[in-house]
Amino acid sequence: QSVLTQPPSVSAAPGQKVTISCSGSSSNIGNNYVSWYQQLPGTAPKLLIYENNKRPSGIPDRFSGSKSGTSATLGITGLQTGDEADYYCGTWDTSLSGVFGTGTKVTVV
């Protein structure tokens, strides 16, 4: 069971904005970088955001990340049908283990 909590699902119309929260504790998010991953159906996860708010080369600026205290947020603006996927946050925990969020399914309605 994950120690990072995300909403099971979020949805919005094309062109709109969605935000996905990732709630943890001082044992994980509070003292470590957060990364975000996009998993399209049937594929491996892909790195979207690292070190809380940085984008790897090739990731559009429609994707943004932030962190405050023991929570982190992923934002997606200008929502597209191709953004329909599962999204996961990830970080390190003081148990000396990596941890991932419960995952959020984004639906474009």
Partner 1 sequence: QVQLQESGPGLVKPSETLSLTCTVSGYSINNGYYWGWIRQPPGKGLEWIGSIYHSGNTYYNPSLKSRVTISVDTSKNQFSLMLSSVTAADTAVYYCARIVGATLARVDFWGRGALVTVSS
Positions that interact with partner 1 (CB under 8 A): 2, 32-33, 35, 37, 43-47, 50-51, 56, 88, 90-92, 95-103
> Is the Cβ–Cβ distance between 34 and 27 less than 8 Å?
no
* Shortest Å, Cβ 13 to partner 1: 26
Q: What is the DSSP string of 29-92?
A: GGGS--EEEEE-TTS--EEEEBTTTB--TT--TTEEEEEETTEEEEEE-S--GGG-EEEEEEEE
* Shortest Å, Cβ 4 to partner 1: 10
Q: Which is nearer to partner 1, 51 or 80 (CB)?
A: 51
Closest CA to 45 of 97, 101, 95: 101
Q: Which is nearer to partner 1, 1 or 81 (CB)?
A: 1
* Shortest Å, Cβ 86 to partner 1: 8
> Is the Cβ–Cβ distance between 15 and 82 less than 8 Å?
no
* Shortest Å, Cβ 54 to partner 1: 9
Q: Which is nearer to partner 1, 13 or 58 (CB)?
A: 58
